[in-house]
Amino acid sequence: MLLIPCPFCGARSESEFIYGGPVRAARPDPNVVSDADWVDYLTVVPNPLGPVQEHWWHARGCGEWLTIWRDTRTHDIVEAPDEIE
Amino acid sequence: MQKYSLFSLARNALSGHRNWPLAWRSPPLKDRYDVVVIGAGGHGLATAYYLAKEFGVINIAVLERGWLGGGNIARNTVTIRSNYMRDASIPFYVKSVAMYEGLTRELNFNMMHSKRTMVDVVQTWPKLRELRRRQLVMDIYGSTYEQITTAELRRRIPALTGGGPEARLPVICGMVHTDAGVNRHDAVAWGYARAADAMGVEIHQQTAVHSLLRGAQGAIEGVATSRGTVRANKVVVAVSGHTTTLTETAGLRLPLRTMNLTAFVSEPVQPLIDVIVNCPDSGFYFSQSDKGEMVIGGAPDMGQSFRRDIKQHVFEDTVSAMLSLFPRFKKLKLLRQWGGHLDIAHDASPIMDQTEVPGLFVTAGWWGGYKAIPAGGLTLAHLVAKGAPHPLMAAFTLDRFRHLDFVMEAGTTTAR
Ligand SMILES: Cc1cc2nc3c(=O)[nH]c(=O)nc-3n(C[C@H](O)[C@H](O)[C@H](O)COP(=O)(O)OP(=O)(O)OC[C@H]3O[C@@H](n4cnc5c(N)ncnc54)[C@H](O)[C@@H]3O)c2cc1C
Ligand SMILES: [Zn+2]
């Protein structure tokens, strides 16, 4: 069970949240990007052995949406990796 | 290969079972093969077997990080079925189910196959509409789906005492998929391994592949392993949840995410349920093993995960869903729980293809891919040997993403 930090409610149990999917790059203009980049945007998410950035919804709490970085090997909620900042 | 038969059993019994030959060899690792298959799970072993058997490709090494058959194949709940949604999927799974039914003979290994029917317990109208839509397409390809009343459902599954008119989600009806069955997962891995080995395929356990090696022209050249470099002009990645970990070493980006899926079993009890029970609206399914254990699976952990354990709240959600329909199961003692990590493609259909790296093949996205092992192995072997996709899997290549022409099976994989 994760303890997810909600900006309003503090650390709360995962069972109060609904997973909202990986954070994706900004949606490009399909008329401008190449076909390959458009397909990449639509279908590919990073799948590392390590930190991923994802949305969570505090649905059974205050209703806030938030994003966290979480390690896919340990479930630890971690700091944003350096190269991303 | 010594044929397993009543005769060989009797002969080996007379010598106190001390003289059974090893089921497969452990030969020295060479530095070059025609084909390297990474991963001795169901798909890797079946691909090697059909390459040898159907296409005469013998000089193959299957490289396995751990032990043969110790990956997700050892962690799955062995539901074999063909009730999918799309025209591209259903004939593929129909073929795979049929191949499983003949596999004991094909491999001379007892698969303990039990064609026992899957029954869906339907509790919402949108689910019923979805299953009826599937039924229309399945009918074209001879896969069976039939609606039964709640009374008939409760007659067939007497332990289903919850979901009455007062429940939050009352049972509406059942859907019966008579083609479904279960078998023995170890037998599948060991049977393919033994038969492939007998034709000359080498299986190397404790041999982890660290990266894929590309030549100056970009084509695949071999793999770097924990036991040195092994060269081959054709490399098949059949590593289930770790596909992207490996394909990234060749600079590929694939539309796959890895997620954790879990199961648990109860203590053995008397025969109670003779079908696979699937409760898609409540989010769990189970069957009773030959030993009498209830083998129970639930919803996946939704975020990406490379873990092999089970999260407490996933476990609790599954148990409470089960008790709402099967309150008597409260008395069952649970013996073991575990998880696996599986990759799932953007549209939830498998990916079998030669990648943009010439000579590099992947078989991936096997979310619920145990049922697909025979047809997956056969059709991938066809692609590797002939360079052109087998008609049954032509829709599962990477082209569908390039053209945004998905084979959308999201949602139909919930029963695994
Ligand atoms: C809890 C659970 C329940 C399931 N239930 C069902 C079900 O009821 N029906 C169904 O059809 N499917 C089910 N599945 C899915 C099924 O188990 C998988 O789709 C299938 O086993 C995947 O194919 P495989 O057998 O080739 O994978 P695996 O058995 O995982 O084989 C991959 C192999 O590759 C090896 N490997 C990985 N990386 C490397 C490397 N770098 N070098 C060398 N070797 C490597 C691994 O050690 C492993 O042995 C379930 C899965 C789980 C986890
Ligand atoms: Zn909150």
Per-residue pLDDT of B2-41, as tens digits, reads 899 999 999 999 999 999 999 999 999 999 999 999 999 9
Q: Please say whether the beta carbons of B297 and B263 come within 8 A.
A: yes
What is the average per-residue pLDDT within B46-60? 98
Structure tokens of B164? 């009455």
Residues with CB under 6 A from ligand 1: B 38-44, 63-66, 70-73, 75-79, 208-209, 238-240, 242, 246, 261-263, 297, 340, 342, 366, 368-371, 416
Put simply, the chain B residues between 330 and 369 with a CB less than 8 A from any chain A CB are 343, 346
Q: Are strands B234-237 and B360-364 parallel, antiparallel or unpaired?
A: parallel
How many whole angstroms from its chain centre is CA B23? 23
State the virtual CA torsion across B86, B353, A49, A5 in degrees, nearest 10.
-20
Quote the CA–CA distance of B130 and B172 in Å, as a whole number: 14
Cβ of residue B229 closer than 8 Å to a chain A Cβ: no
Residue A1: per-residue pLDDT: 81
In order of B120, B313, B315, the CA distances from B153 in angstroms are: 9, 30, 26
Q: Which ligand is nearest to the CA of A63?
A: 2
CB neighbour list of residue B295: distance below 8 Å, 6 or more residues apart? B77, B78, B263, B265, B286, B287, B288, B289
Residue A84: per-residue pLDDT: 55
Is the CATH number 3.80.10.10 carried by domain B6-13+28-109+184-254+349-402?
A: no
Tens digits of residue pLDDT in B362-415: 999 999 999 999 999 999 999 999 999 999 999 999 999 999 999 999 888 766
Residue B161: per-residue pLDDT: 98
For residue B416, what pLDDT band results from cuts at 50, 70 and 90?
A: low
What is the average per-residue pLDDT within A40-64? 97
Quote the CA–CA distance of B79 and B71 in Å, as a whole number: 17
CA triple B152-B332-B174, angle to 5 deg: 20
**Is the CB of B304 less than 8 angstroms away from the CB of A1?**
no
In order of B34, B161, B170, the CA distances from B326 in angstroms are: 53, 6, 13
What is the average per-residue pLDDT within B148-154? 98
Sign of the CA dihedral B201, B207, B210, B215? negative
For B118-179+258-345, give the CATH class. Answer: alpha beta
Q: Which residues of B42-75 are buried (b: 16+ CB within 10 A; e: fewer)?
A: bbbbbbbbbbbbeeebbebbbbbbeebbbbbbbb
Instruction: Look up residue B23 and give its DSSP letter.
Output: S
- Compare CB distances from A39 to B302, B303, B401 and report the shortest one's residue: B401
CA triple A68-A74-A75, angle to 5 deg: 35
**Is the CB of B306 less than 8 angstroms away from the CB of A49?**
yes
What is the average per-residue pLDDT within B157-184? 97
Gap from A33 CA to chain B (nearest CA, Å) = 14
Residue A85: per-residue pLDDT: 45
Tens digits of residue pLDDT in B197-225: 999 999 999 999 999 999 999 999 999 99
CA triple B362-B345-B359, angle to 5 deg: 15
Gap from A39 CA to chain B (nearest CA, Å) = 6
Q: Whose CA is nearest to atom 21 of ligand 1?
A: B73
Would the pLDDT of B275 be above 50? yes
Percent of chain B at pLDDT > 90 equals 97
**Is the CB of B304 less than 8 angstroms away from the CB of A54?**
yes
Q: Please say whether the beta carbons of B350 and B202 come within 8 A.
A: no
Model pTM? 0.97
Domains and CATH numbers, chain A: 3-78 (3.30.2270.10)
**Is the CB of B346 less than 8 angstroms away from the CB of A49?**
no
Residue B412: per-residue pLDDT: 81
B416 C-alpha to ligand 1 centroid (Å): 12
Quote the CA–CA distance of B208 and A7 in Å, as a whole number: 43
Backbone angles phi, psi at A6, to 5 degrees: -90, 135
**Which of chain A's residues have a Cβ under 8 Å away from the Cβ of B258?**
47, 72
CB neighbour list of residue B362: distance below 8 Å, 6 or more residues apart? B236, B237, B238, B243, B247, B254, B351, B352, B353, B355
**Is the CB of B303 less than 8 angstroms away from the CB of A15?**
no
Instruction: Look up residue B149 and give its DSSP letter.
Output: -
CA triple B337-B342-B345, angle to 5 deg: 150
Cβ of residue B304 closer than 8 Å to a chain A Cβ: yes
Segments making up each domain of chain B, as ranges? 6-13+28-109+184-254+349-402, 118-179+258-345
* 3-class secondary structure per residue, B286-322: EEECCCCCEEEEECCEEEECCCCCCCHHHHHHHHHHH
Residue B2: per-residue pLDDT: 87
Q: Give the closest residue to B223 by CA, choosing from B51, B46, B356, B63.
A: B63
SS3 call for A29: coil
**Which of chain B's residues have a Cβ under 8 Å away from the Cβ of A49?**
245, 306
Quote the CA–CA distance of B205 and B69 in Å, as a whole number: 10
